[in-house]
Amino acid sequence: MTASSGRRVLLAAPRGYCAGVDRAVIAVEKALEQYGAPIYVRHEIVHNKYVVQTLEKKGAIFVERTEEVPPGNIVMFSAHGVAPVVHDEARQGRLATIDATCPLVTKVHKEAVRYANEDYDILLIGHEGHEEVIGTSGEAPEHIQLVDGPEDVAKVTVRDESKVVWLSQTTLSVDETMETVDALKTKFPGLVSPPSDDICYATQNRQLAVKQMGAEAELVIVVGSRNSSNSKRLVEVAKLAGSREAYLVDFASEIDEAWLEGVTTVGVTSGASVPEVLVEEVLQWLAERGYGDVEIVKAAEESITFSLPKELRRDLREEAAALVAERGGSGTSEA
C-alpha cells in the first residue's frame, strides 16, 4: 500500500507522559537504584500496565494497602495521592515513606484543606472509587461530597448555600465537568470556583489535541490502560469530536484489523501515563497496514517539569531500620 492511497495517521501532540507521571516513574527507578529492592509502592505508581510490569521486573512490589508492607521497609505513595490517614498507617507500620503524589494533585488537596478550614461545603467533581478522589476526600471527609457527573447534581444538599465551593479530580473531561459545574451553579448560584484549574494542563492539552483530530479521523486509537481515567476520557472526547470509532488499547497487539475497514484517517494518541514506546509500536503496526504517512496535530507546547520527591535525598533504609529498632524491633505492625 502506498501513501497515495490517502491512508494516513494523525498523531496527537501532546500525548503520553505528563510531568507528574515522569517524576513518579523516575522516583521508583531512583529509589530502586539508591536503596535496592524491594521498594514497595502503594497502588499502581501510575495507571499503566506496561509501566507497572516493567517496574515489577526491576524490584518494585505493588500493594493496595499499607498494611501489606512489612515493618522496616520503604513504601512509595502513587502519583494519584493519598489521604492523611495513609501517612498515619505508614508511621504505625514503621515504614519509611516516599511521596510521589503529583504536585498538581497536592494543590487540590491543599485547596480542600483550606476551604474545609473555612467551613465550606466542598463539592468534589470526580469518579467514585478513583484513587485520587479517595485521597482528596480523605483530607476533609466531613466537608467533602462527591459529585460524579451532571446526573449526580440533583441529589446534592448543602448546609449553607452561601458557603459552597467546587473542586475536581485532575483527569476529568473538561466539557463534562463544565456541564456539571453549570448544573451546580443553577442549583447553588453562590457556588465558588477553585482559584485555578483543578483539571491539570496535561489532561486539558491531550483532550484539545484529540478534539482537533476527531473531526478528520474516522478511527481514533488511544493507547492507555483500562483503569486510567485520563486515557478513558480521550476515547470519549474523540467520539464527541466526530470520530466514528475510538478504542483504548494497552498494546498494538490488541488492535483489531476490522477496525480499519473503510478507514482512511486514523488518529493516534496516548494517556498521560503511557510511555512513548507503546505509541511507536502502534505506529509501526499501522505502517505495516498502509498507514505510514504520519501528520502531527499539535494543540499545545509543554515544558513543565517537577523536581523529584525530596525524601530521595535521605537514607531511607537507615530511617526504616531505626523506626523498627526504636519500638523494640519485634517486626510486628501496630496498624
Marked catalytic residue, from 132, 254, 318, 319: 132
- Nearest-angstrom CA–CA distance, 310 and 319: 14
108 binds ligand 10D (CB under 6 A): no
DSSP E strand boundaries for the chain: 8-13, 39-42, 60-63, 74-77, 96-99, 121-125, 144-147, 164-168, 219-223, 245-249, 265-270, 294-298
- Using DSSP's 3-state secondary structure scheme, residue 175 falls into helix
Any idea which residue has 476526600 for its cell? Answer: 137
* Residue carrying the nine cell digits 510486628: 332
Pick the binder of ligand 10D from 31, 96, 98, 102 (CB under 6 A).
102
Binding string, 149-188, against ligand SF4, x = CB under 6 A?
---------------------xx-----------------
Judged by phi (left if over 0) then psi (alpha if -120 to 50, else beta), residue 278 lies in alpha
Calpha distance 331→320 (Å, rounded): 11
**C-beta closer to ligand SF4: residue 241 or 272:** 272
Q: Is 47 annotated as a binding residue?
A: yes
Chosen residue from 15, 47, 49, 211 binding ligand 10D by CB under 6 A: 47
Residue 9-28 contact track with ligand SF4, rule CB under 6 A, x = bound: ---------xxxx-------
Please choose, from the candidates 174, 308, 192, 286, the residue with its C-alpha nearest in 3D space to the C-alpha of residue 230.
174
Q: How many CB atoms lie within 10 A of CB 226?
A: 11
135 binds ligand 10D (CB under 6 A): no
The answer to whether 272 contacts ligand SF4 (rule: CB under 6 A) is yes
Is 230 a known ligand-binding residue?
yes
Residue 228's binding partner among ligand SF4, ligand 10D, none (Cβ under 5 to 8 angstroms by kind) is ligand 10D
261 catalytic? Reply is no
Among ligand SF4, ligand 10D, none, residue 19 binds (CB under 5-8 Å by kind): ligand SF4
Stretch that binds ligand 10D, among 55-63, 64-72, 116-124, 228-236 (CB under 6 A): 228-236
Pick one of 19, 27, 46, 241: the residue that binds ligand 10D (CB under 6 A).
Answer: 46
Catalytic residues: 132
